[in-house]
Amino acid sequence: MPEIVAVIGATGLQGGSVIKALSALPEQYTVRGVTRSTSTARVAELKAQYPNVEWVAADLKDPASLREAFRDASIVFGNTNYLQPEIFAQIDAGDLDAEFRLGKNMVDAAIAQGVKHFVYSSLESPTKVGGPKYSGAHEPEGKNKIEEYIRSNKDKLTGYFVYAGFYFQNFLLSAQWDESIGSGKDAVVFMYPLPADAPLPYVDIEEDLGATVALILSQRAEYAGQILAAVEGSYTGEQITQAFSRATGVPARYQNGVIPEIDRSDINAMLRFFIEFGALTQQDLTIAKTKASRPFTSLDQFWAKYASFRPE
């Protein structure tokens, strides 16, 4: 009998990647997409794309709904989204455990339902690596605290941890037309709050986060309690911009600039940590692409996939 895998955040980039990877293995897994509402246009689109996926509604703030969503499941993929107004408001009011509570609800519900395997999308702790000057980096600290909570319950369920790099897809969201060098829509500018020459780990999250989870589940004894890095390679903003121009023939430039939606002290502290330490500093992690059954998507392959992309 295929194992039931409950996928939290199934309509998002991470959850959607897991849905894509595991639904391609129907002999091994029955995939259950978990999202706050099953009546959205996005869910309708995914139902048509993946007809064998079961969909259930649950909210990370509602433990009872999570317990129901995890009924009969042997595996949960969990992730938490810090970048939402409700979390920001709680953090700004001094509630630094706003994200941790959501993760704890997931873990507690999984334990209550007898789930045996929990794959969590985590991040390393900046304070463990860089000291107290990074104590304001609340997003990775909260995710790492959820990871530690899973580890503290290893007698009840087995944890597996994925550390994802920056998303290539972020460049799709930050692009705009640059009209400053002439008249009309002459070039694309990619704005990101990182120096143009800072090499950082990146991944095609839509494809290779799911591949990493599939790898973990195929070799659970080897990866129990371990960290796998979902990363294709390290790139600077300038390199990613140049690759876009190679793929499309469209002139482009990179700009280290503020993105208003995430221009916050906590996010900026996290970015400063990544700039100083490069992210993924832990020595005991496994680079998933070296173990996966297929190559990860390269930077040039990513832009070839999005060769028709232009800012709106």
DSSP string for 268-284: HHHHHHHHHH-S---TT
CATH fold label, 3-305: Rossmann fold (3.40.50)
**pLDDT score, position 115:** 98
**pLDDT score, position 283:** 67
**pLDDT score, position 181:** 53
Given a contact cutoff of 8 angstroms between Cβ atoms, the answer to whether 8 and 34 are in contact is yes
Nearest-5° angle of CA 214, CA 218, CA 219? 120
Q: Could you tell me the CA-to-CA distances from 104 to 67, 77, 120 in Å, in that order?
A: 12, 14, 12
**pLDDT score, position 82:** 96
**pLDDT score, position 281:** 78
Average pLDDT per 10 consecutive residues for the chain, totaling 312 residues = 97 97 97 97 96 97 98 98 95 97 98 98 94 95 98 98 96 85 71 93 97 98 97 96 95 92 94 87 86 96 95 88
Residue type, 49: Q
**pLDDT score, position 312:** 83
CA atoms of 109 and 59, how far apart (whole Å): 12
**pLDDT score, position 277:** 87
For the sheet containing 117-122, what is the strand order? 54-57, 29-35, 3-8, 75-78, 117-122, 158-164, 227-230, 286-287
**pLDDT score, position 182:** 52
The model's pTM is 0.95
Supply 117's token pair.
């395997």
